[in-house]
Amino acid sequence: MVQRLASSFDAAARISSAASVQLSSLGDEEKLSAATAEITGWLQRQGFTGAGLRILDIGCGIGRFEIALSPAALRVVGIDISPSMISIGLERCAALPNVELRLTSGLDLADFGDASFDCVLAVDSFPYLVLAGLAERYLKEIGRVLKRPGMAAILNYSYRGSPALDRSEIHHLAEAYGMQVVIDGERPFRLWDGTAFMLVPVGTLRPGAGSGVDEERSVRST
């Protein structure tokens, strides 16, 4: 299944790099850039960026969020199963020294150690993990690689058309792997119809609106 998905992403990237990562952009780079900026702004308001933070982007595609997030992070690591998308992303991110893109098997996060990242991002990648039967494995892995405190943003969990099922499944798996849901299926975007979930490790606090994880660390240490 993963290899078939990789082949389909490769084919889409050869036709249109913009449409391959967000079909609603219809290949329009301006539409894609505007949607990316809106999502990035929302992430920043949740405390997802900040000096010293390490971010993992699961399903990074052509590196659009690496470009958007790199000015406000220590390091951004993007992984994807599509060689064509990684190739395009490497070209686009060549001038960004704090960005790393890796081709991955798509089966797990075994390349990364425990508590490696402050933030984990998955934009429109979990629907394919759900399809491949890998969603539980990845949520377990996210719980493992996240620092404490830390946060994971899952933007679109599935394409099943059942928000209630998605919420129930995410809550069950988050609890099973030491996390709690603090944003539960909201639709905060105007330019994209994605559904937002935010998870944090149990026993840690979610950063306040407009604050960063570093700020939360300082509050928790006093």
Q: Taking Cα atoms as reference points, which of 191, 166, 141, 137 lies closest to residue 26? A: 191
Which residues are 200's β-sheet partners? Answer: 180
Pairing of strands 179-186, 146-155: unpaired
Provide the residue count of the chain. Answer: 222
From residue 190, give the alpha-carbon distance in Å to each of 61, 86, 152, 187, 206: 22, 28, 21, 8, 24
From residue 35, give the alpha-carbon distance in Å to each of 55, 152, 163, 204, 211: 20, 20, 22, 30, 22
pTM of the complete model: 0.85
Per-residue pLDDT band for 204 (boundaries 50, 70, 90) equals confident
pLDDT: which is higher, 36 or 13:
36
Domain extents in the chain: 2-221
Phi-psi region of 61 (alpha: psi -120 to 50; beta: other; left: phi over 0): left
pLDDT tens, position by position, 160-176: 999 999 999 999 999 99
Hey, which CATH number is domain 2-221, 3.40.50.150, 3.90.1580.10, 3.40.50.300, 1.20.210.10?
3.40.50.150
**Is the Cβ–Cβ distance between 98 and 73 less than 8 Å?**
yes
Residue 190: both structure tokens together: 């105007």
| Residue listed under structure tokens 């308001």 | 45
pLDDT tens, position by position, 95-150: 999 999 999 999 999 999 999 999 999 999 999 999 999 999 999 999 999 999 99
Q: Return all residues near 82 (Cβ < 8 A) that are at least 6 apart.
A: 6, 9, 10, 13, 61
Predicted pLDDT of residue 60: 96
